[in-house]
Amino acid sequence: MIIKEAELAAVAVNPEQYPDTNKKEIAIAGRSNVGKSSLINMLLNRKGLARVSGSPGKTRTINFYDVNKDFRIVDLPGYGFAKVSRSTIDNWGKMIDNYLSNRPNLVKMIQLVDVRHPPTAQDIQMYEWMRYYGLDGLVVATKADKVSKAELARNLNVIRMALGLGERDKIIPVSALKRTGYEELLKALDEILKEG
Ligand SMILES: Nc1nc2c(ncn2[C@@H]2O[C@H](COP(=O)(O)OP(=O)(O)OP(=O)(O)O)[C@@H](O)[C@H]2O)c(=O)[nH]1
Ligand SMILES: [Mg+2]
């Protein structure tokens, strides 16, 4: 697959704001600040398309990106931010639950975890959620440029174990900064779209 075109299709809080269901969707989940928006920009080859920021919790909406007028990448709001109120966390849960349970064209999710750290309790919970909906099987380890080769191998194993990944599940190390892991990720998306 070659990504030729990408554009923001919708920004949503409520299901009424979702775009129509005529395109397959692949959603990206992960802790706030893990690098979801950066990954989307790398993947779609558009520097400022998804907003990246230094302040965690920036993406508070569900952002839908149309790719090649053919499928969608969906940027979910991050979890695990420390400085927000209880009601913000409840809203987050409702938003995610609404989306996951009401989206027939959602074919897969990508769980992002920071390669430097073991998955958090919330990462594990999110992945369980995906498993429940049958959308698990692809994990991306972000910020791969921040660890040595030896650490990378070791940490990928820790992540595999913590999330309970099976032999057929994929974990792809990626660096949005160095643009590594791009080809492998595209290939994984290709396979998902073919089978999904
Ligand atoms: N070194 C390095 N930094 C990265 C990488 N990816 C993202 N970052 C940095 O991590 C920070 C958070 O990145 P975002 O892409 O905004 O993270 P996010 O998951 O979208 O965050 P929220 O929208 O708050 O949920 C930014 O300062 C990025 O520049 C990477 O591959 N390598
Ligand atoms: Mg973001």
Q: What is the tens place of the pLDDT at every residue in 107-145?
A: 999 999 999 999 999 999 999 999 999 999 999 999 999
Full domain range(s) for residue 51: 6-195
178 occurs within a structural domain: yes
Residues with a CB atom less than 6 Å from ligand 1: 30, 32-38, 52-54, 56-59, 78, 142-143, 145-146, 175-177
Note the ligand closest to the C-alpha atom of 54.
1
Q: Which CATH number covers residue 187?
A: 3.40.50.300
Centroid of ligand 2 to alpha carbon of 35 (angstroms) = 7
Which of the listed residues 28, 33, 111 should we mutate to test ligand 1's pocket, taking the one with most ligand atoms within 8 A of CB?
33
Tell me if 1 is assigned to some domain: no
53 pLDDT band (50/70/90 cuts)?
low
| Structural domain includes residue 79 | yes
What one-character-per-residue DSSP string does 110-149 give?
EEEEETTSPPPHHHHHHHHHHHHTT--SEEEEE-GGGS-H
Give me the number of domains the chain comprises: 1
What is the rounded radius of gyration, in angstroms, for the C-alpha atoms of the chain? 16
